[in-house]
Each structure stands twice: as structure tokens, then as C-alpha cells.
Chains A and B, each alone.
Chain A
Amino acid sequence: MLPLEYQLTLTKQTEIAPSIYELCLTGDLAQQPIAPGQFVDIKIPSDALLLRRPFGIANVDRQTNTITLLYRVVGEGTTILSESPVGTSLSVLGPLGNGYPIDQLVAGQNALIIGGGTGIPPLHELSRQLNAKGVHVQHVFGFATKAAIFYEDHFRKLGPVAYATNDGSYGYQGHVGLLLDAQFADATTRYDAIYACGPKGLLMAVDNRFSEHPNAYISLEERMACGIGACYACVTKLKRDPSIQLKICDDGPVFKTNEVLI
């Protein structure tokens, strides 16, 4: 039988940008093999909230036995989580789903990581693991505004970052798709692998631009119930045959570009 559930202890929690929290959870989940892009499913400590909340894993530190999550407070569940004190024990399922493939890359190759808003957290662990392999990483990130940006220093340590903000308060003015067109028009040939996570518009922009790239991946999001493939809540259709549906939690959340209907 596979291990699935861990009791992790909340060891640190900080608001790193307005409504964005960095949450450190300590326990043996961190010792599992974790592919970047895999997620955890957390039981919120409240009897009234039945469904677990899925979160991408932003950092794995085996030395301190700790995983880090970055999340935005959007509703009752994340509010309770953000108010949970250090020492809280949380039931965590994971690591779940299929992460971004990185084994095909070797030192010296180039990767482009594209993210938007709260889609960015799992891309940190991805960039870290690519760096560890000696892969050169360029990041392209979109945010609503400068104040919403988080983990800038963390990412700049891993490779250059190009920012787009909707209001132009930092970096390129406009959405990530326009920034890609303006500054990364040759990305298809320049990068050996392309990875993306973010809102639907961003994923569509990446899917459209890199549909033929042999090594381009997007990570999808959907409301989930079970998190392990049993409830059929989070399905998406295959592009080549929409009569075939895949489960985002179990068959994804990472898919190749041009594979599923976004």
C-alpha cells in the first residue's frame, strides 16, 4: 500500500504579500520523493468544512523535514488556515498527482517557466529542482500589480525573472501572453522545456504559443473533492478526442500542451 496521509506540524506562517501566506509544514511527507508540480490536500481544522484544499508544493527541504506552501486567502477555509497558530497539527494527503517532467533535461540546457499569481508557488520547487540539475532557468511571471508580487528574491536567485503587471506598476504592462510575444518570440527554439501554471487565460496563452513544442507543460486547476481520482469532480477533456476525459487530480494536474481542452 502507498503512504497517503501525514500529520504535519505548522512550524511557521507569514503573510508575505497582501493576503498571500507562506506556510511551513514539518513532518515526514518531506522525505517522500516529490516531483515539482505535485500537490497536497489539506484538511482544514473545522468540522463544518468537509472538503480538503489542494495546494501546490512551493518548496521541499529534506534537511529540516519541511514543505512550504504559498497561498492566497480566498474564503473560509484559507482564512482558518491563515489564522492557525504554530504547532497546529494538520492532516495532509500527498504528494498527489503527476508533476512536471524534468528527467529529460541535462545540465546546460534552458528552461522557460511561465506563471501567474497564485499559480506561481509550485514553479518555485520546479525552478529549484531544475537549478539543482544545472539547467538554466528563465522565469516570466504575471501579477495584477506590483504589491501582489511575492518570492521575487527567491526566484531571482534561481534565474532571471521578467515581470508583467496588468497596471504596469512593475515590469511590462499587460498580461503574460503579450510579454511573451514582446520579449520571448523565439522561445520555441530557445528553450528545451517550457513549464506553466496560472489562471486559465495564461494557460491558454501558453497552450496556443507552444502547442508544437515537444517539451511544454501546463498545470491545471479545478474544484476537487477526493483529490485521488475517485469522485470524478475535476475532469477535463482530451483535445484530440473530447469523448475521453482525464482527471486533473490523478491524471494531471500537469499535462502536455495541446493535450487537453482548457
Chain B
Amino acid sequence: MTDLAVTLPGLALKNPIMPASGCFGFGQEYGRYYDLNELGAIIIKAATKEPRLGNATPRVAETPSGMLNAIGLQNPGIEVIMQEKLPWLAEHYPELPIISNVAGNTEADYVAVCEQISQAPNVHAIELNISCPNVAHGGLEFGTSPEAAATLTKACVAVSQVPVYVKLSPNVTDIRPIAQAVEAAGAAGFSLINTLVGMRIDPKTRQPILANQTGGLSGPAIKPVAIRLIHQVRSISKLPIIGMGGVSTAADALELIAAGANAIAVGTANFSDPFACPKLIAALPDELAKYQLTDLKSFSLSQEVTHD
């Protein structure tokens, strides 16, 4: 029997696979079709202090081997998430670790949500979203400056009852100083990567397809970008990395792990195949067996970690 267990700050995972934030709601929809206990964890949809309606439609557009989305962090707000969404998950999947994605307009918003949501018994970690490309405030403005990212991280770590993983943006010239600043500010780990900003135009109207004009590119198209950025952050930090970006198969997952990731989030693949996560988990032992391995730790340990 292959051992897929992974232990990270706050997270004792029976396997390293978890749905990525924004691609799995709060679990209720996919929970109709398979047992969510098969998952290592779930990163739930971003929580903000106030309920948010998100952007106008159309919110999605397909691209070659990818898609653009500009949902705009639609969510029912921290109160409903604390009173309805998290208790539903706790009731139906009491053993399943939840990672809560947190977003906001201002530092005070982020701090308030981190403080409150980290007290939920089934929230084992926070994914600090400083990289959403689809909102006017918050999001990227904290994620593109090392100083702003560090200040926000420090404030959130100070109030959070659980480890804080910071979700970094690929939309920067150099991710390393941001990762270093966030690490110095007390982050427990990184979540890499958020989507890349893109656009599509409808030739009939000569206007952008998305109502928000731009959207975040995800899917297999961005996998090489994710691998490079994970590799780059791994070269300057020993902190755990939840890797994501275009993963749809066990081979993809191992490629990101080889680049330096310790666990893997699966996003857009859930839309192509609602059973993408359980299929990937089931396929991991055979994929590891190709390298004569019966546990994931050995695959991870074989990584050459270089420090410069």
C-alpha cells in the first residue's frame, strides 16, 4: 500500500491533493457526486468580511488549454461562512481539513476575517489571497509589493489561530523578494500560483468577452509557469509550498512536487472532469511505482533543494 500522507504546518493530510480555492465552492456541489473524505483537504472559496456579488457576466471564457475567469470573489461573507458553510463541512466530513482562503479590500478586512475564520474548528490553515487579479481593491495591490505583502502577512499571522499560507501572484517581475518578505513576516508556507492576467476579444463586437475585460488564466496552459515559479521560490525558501497551476493528472502533480511543492491543489481540472481529484489520488500510487517508490515522502525527499 502506497503511503501518500503529507504533514505540513497545521495540516496532517492523508494525501497531498486538494481542490483549489474558487473551483470547488464550499464543497456542497461536488459532495453530491463523491465522498469528499477521499480528498487530502479542501481549500474553500475566498471569504471576505462582507457578502460580495462579484463581477457582471460573462465571467468565463475558454482559451487554448485554459480558461479565463473573472468571478470577482463572489461569496456570502464571513458570517454566513462561519454559520452555515463551515458547519456543514464539519458535520458531513468531520475529519477533513479545511483551508480557508481569505481576501479583503483593506488590511483591516483581512485581519478581521483571519481572526474570525481561524477559530472555526475545522479550519486548519489559512490561504491568504493577496493575488486575486479580478477585484479593484485588495488582491493584487498587496501581492505585488514585498513591503505591502509583508505588512499584511504580519498582521494576519498575529491574529490567526492557525498557520497562514500566502498565495502569491505570478503577475510580478520577480517573485523571490515577495516570498522572502512574506517568510520573514511569519508565513507558515506558500500557495503557488494564482492565475495570470489575460484577455480575450470577441471579433464580432471587437470587445472583450469578459464583462470585467480581463480575467485570470488557469488550466494546463499555465502549468509550465507554475513549475518555474515553484522552483524559483523553492530555491530561496524551505517553507512548505502548496503547488497549483494546470494540474490535472498524477504525472502533473509529481512534476510540481519535483519542482518543490509539498502538496497540490487542483483547480480548473474539476470543471473538465468533476471527478478529477479522486481520479488523480487513485492514480498516484501507480505513478510513484514508475519510479520504484511506494511513498510520496521518498519522492519529495529526492528533490535537490538548492539555495542561493
Contact = CB atoms under 8 A, between A and B. Distances in A.
B110 interface: no
Interface in B26-65: 29-30, 32-35, 45, 51, 53-54, 57-62, 64-65
Given A235-B54, A235-B74, A225 B60 contact: yes
A224 B33 contact: no
A47 B249 CA distance: 13
Contacts of A227: 271
Interface stretch (A48-56, A58-66, A148-156): A48-56
A52 B272 contact: yes
A1 interface: yes
Contact of B271 (A50, A235, A236): A50
A17 interface: no
Determine chain A's interface SS by DSSP, over half rule: loop
Contacts of A77: 62
A2 interface: yes
A7 to B, nearest CB: 12
Interface string A65-86: 0000000000001000000000
Given A1-B35, A229-B25, A223 B57 contact: yes
B146 interface: no
Contacts of B60: 51, 223-225, 231, 233
B274 A223 contact: no
Interface residues of A, number: 33
A232 B59 contact: yes
B22 interface: yes
Interface in A108-147: none
B225 interface: no
B220 A50 contact: yes
Interface string A207-243: 0000000000000001111111111111111000001
Interface in A144-189: none
A232 B33 contact: no
Given A1-B34, A235-B54, A243-B53, A230 B272 contact: no
B270 interface: yes
Nearest to B248: A50
A89 interface: no
Contacts of A250: 29
B66 A226 contact: no
18 contacts: A2-B32, A43-B273, A49-B62, A50-B62, A50-B65, A50-B219, A52-B271, A77-B62, A226-B271, A228-B274, A230-B23, A230-B29, A231-B71, A232-B45, A233-B59, A234-B57, A235-B54, A243-B53
Interface of B: 22-25, 29-30, 32-35, 45, 51, 53-54, 57-62, 64-67, 69, 71, 74, 219-220, 268, 270-275
Interface of A: 1-2, 4-5, 43, 47-52, 77, 91, 93, 222-237, 243, 245, 250
Given A224-B60, A233-B69, A243-B51, 16 more contacts: A4-B33, A48-B64, A48-B65, A50-B67, A51-B60, A223-B61, A225-B271, A228-B32, A230-B30, A230-B270, A231-B22, A231-B25, A231-B69, A234-B57, A235-B74, A245-B54
